Structures are given as C-alpha cells and as structure tokens.
Structure 1
Amino acid sequence: MSAICFFCGSAPGNDPLYQRDIAALIETLAQHECSFVYGGGKVGLMGVVADEGLKHGASVTGIIPRHLVDHELAYTGLTELVVTDDMHQRKLAMAQRSDAFIALPGGVGTLEEIFEQWTWSQIGLHAKPCVFFNTGGFFDPLIAFLQKVVDKGFMKPQYLETLIVSDDPDEIVARLKGYTAPVDKWSKVVEA
C-alpha cells in the first residue's frame, strides 16, 4: 500500500467539506508512509491532494499530459512531475506507479479513470484495490446504480464487493492493508 493514486476533479466542488475531508485522508495516509500519485494539476481537488501531501512530508508525483502543461495547469513544486505525450500515456504511467487507486469527488474524467482500473482488476490485469472516498455521500447514487447493475444480472456481486467505499480515512487504511484481490472475471487467480 505504499503508492496511492488519486483520481479527482480539476474543480474544487461547491462544498468545503470535500477539501477538508480530503486533507484528513491525505494526512492519515501520509502517517502510514504512503506516497502519492495524481494527475499533476495545481487546480481544484488535484491541487488539494498535492498541497496536503507535500505539507505532510509525503512524496508526491504528478503525471500530466503535455497539452495541459502548455496551458500552465501543472503543479511545479512536486517531488516529481512526469510529462506524457497524451492522456493514454498519463493513465498508464499512473497505473504503473501505484499500488492502490482512490477516487475523490470529481466529474466524468475521475469516473472514467477509476472505472478503468476497476475493470482491469476484474479481468486480472492487476490486483490493486479501488476505493471511492465517499465524503458527504458523494458517491451514494453511483453505488446505488452499481447495485442495480448487479441486480439486473450485468455484474457478479463479488465485483461490487471488491470496491472499498468509505468516508473514514482509518477504515480505508485498514481495508487497503487487508485487501485481497478478487478471482478475475475469467476464473484465473490474480497475483500482484
């Protein structure tokens, strides 16, 4: 559980609860000597992840595509800033450098990123946990929809059960430490 990848919004959202709870999550993870990987931006919740990680002495790696650097959106004071040619390379680099993935509040980009990693876990491409940090119940409607997907027979219940959904930083740490990878969708045991 050493390198945690965050997927989150480039906007701050309209509730200060998000920033406050994310700061508490980052502090807790930093106390457990985690390093952080994220999208490399200085704006929105991405900036909060970087600021809080650095504040608590964690290594913070930002991975950002060149076209966003060109728009002056990169956080330049990080432990490491990796510039990729495109979004696909960015997501691959983030996945390769991470031991777990946490979705914070965000928009469709955040959802696309965490869903890709969750899918990769289901089909056995990796054995890394996926977390929804459910501050303020942000992800409740999404989790209800995913339960409907299970109820309608489009996903096995064990895949929904592999998601860690919590608003409690200590619970997230405990569940990350005790995480067991699922048997992949095609019946092979996934190894880290």
Structure 2
Amino acid sequence: MHMDNITKVAVFCGSSFGNDDSFKLISHSFGALLAENSLTLVYGGGYRGLMGSVAQGVKDNNGHVIGVLPEIFDNDMVKLKSVEDELIIKKDMHERKKQIYDLADAFIILPGGIGTFDEFFKIFTWKQIGYHNKNIAIYNINGFFNTLISFLKECVDKGFLSNKVFDSLIISEDANQIIKDIKEKKVILPSKI
C-alpha cells in the first residue's frame, strides 16, 4: 500500500487519561498531526480519556473524525460533548471493532488499558494470519509500551512469534516517524496456511 492509499487511520487508546498529564497533551498533539497530514481519524467514539483527546486534536485542526460506538455506549453520558463528524452506532463491541477495522487503512496504538490491548492483539493476530496487510504502529509515548515490546521479543526468543511478524510492527516514540512509516512501510507476511 503506497502513501496515497492511506487516508483513514484507526487509533486505539485509553478511555481514561491515566495518571500522567503528558499523555493527554501528547495524544491531543497527535490528533493535530493526523489532521495536518490529511488523515481521517477512525476511533471508538466519545469524548472520554485519551480517545477524546486525540479526536479533539483532530477536530481543533479542521480534520475529519469518524466515531464508532456500540449501542451500550449510545447515551448522553458518552455523547455529552460531540467530537465526531460522523458517528456510527453498531450492535455490540464485536461489530464496532469490525467496523473500525474495515474503515481503517492503518492502525496506531497509544497508551491504554485492557481494551486497547484487546484491540491491538486482535488486529496484530489478523495481520499474522493474513486477514489484512495494513500497517500497525505502536506510538510508545514516554516508554509506555517498553514492557509489552520486551514481552513480544521474548515470544520471538521462545519460538512463539516469528521475527518477521514482530518486525512488521512499526514502533516509535516519534509521532512524525509513525506517520511517515504508516504511509510508506510495506510488509508482506508469509501465509499461515
């Protein structure tokens, strides 16, 4: 996929802010960077946490935001402050994830909790088995993902993850490098069949 093909980027991150204020500021700046690069944000919807910060950063810089909510979150508490240009409501979390995966041309992971890890591992698994060949980037803000990266390297060392699959991940603490790499990197993984 060449850079001209990347127009929509899914961002997975926390629906809370964490306990380090820099996460909020950096995620807002990252949203601004997406907008500056004419990349539409596709995310889980709502204004809460880092998810809301990224969306607000896109919105504040005249970018386009697509939110995808499951019915369970289709309420005024979640939609108190609208940051989406388009809001898609799906029946459940599975349909929500599939919609986000289908819409996006690439995926970027920012700090978050188990929901963020669930989304990362699912999309990484799908790449490994050949469901898609879209770029996946880990934006390692303040070294947040260092332990996860070490664990994935241990999986390689112990023979449970191939080097090629691990190396297909884009990992950086530099937002501009992430944007450049998701547009330009092309990795075709060997078939698992």
Unmatched 5+ stretches in structure 2: 1-5
Shift of 1:72: 2.3
Indicate the percent of aligned positions where both proteins have the same amino acid. Answer: 36
Task: Give 1:76 deviation, angstroms.
Answer: 2.9
Give ranges in structure 1 of 5+ residues lacking alignment: 188-192
Pair 1:137 & 2:143 matched: yes
Match of 1:67 among 59, 72, 80: 72
C-alpha separation in 2, matches of 1:71 and 1:78: 14
Instruction: Report the CA distance between 1:66 and its aligned residue.
Output: 0.8
| Aligned length in residues | 187
Q: Is the 8 A contact 2:30 2:54 kept in 1?
A: no
User: Normalization by structure 2: what TM-score?
Assistant: 0.92
TM-score (norm 1): 0.93
Other-structure match for 2:29:
24
Residues 33-77 of structure 1: CA distance to partner in whole angstroms, max 9, x if unpaired?
100000002111111011111101111000000111136213534
Partner residue of 2:63 out of 34, 55, 58: 58
Checking the alignment, whether the CA contact within 8 Å between 2:35 and 2:63 is kept in structure 1 is: yes
- What's the RMSD between the two structures over aligned residues? 1.4
**Deviation of the 1:181 alpha carbon:** 2.6
* Equivalent-residue separation in structure 2 for 1:154 and 1:80 (angstroms): 40
Structure 1 stretch displaced more, 124-133 or 19-28:
19-28
SS of the residue corresponding to residue 34 of structure 2 reads helix
What is the identity, as a one-letter code, of the residue corresponding to 2:151?
Answer: F
Q: Structure 1 residues 120 and 184 mapped into 2: Cα distance closer, same or farther (>3 Å)?
A: farther
- Is 2:95 aligned against 1:86? no
1:1-192 pair list within 5 angstroms: 1-70=6-75, 72-74=77-79, 75-186=81-192
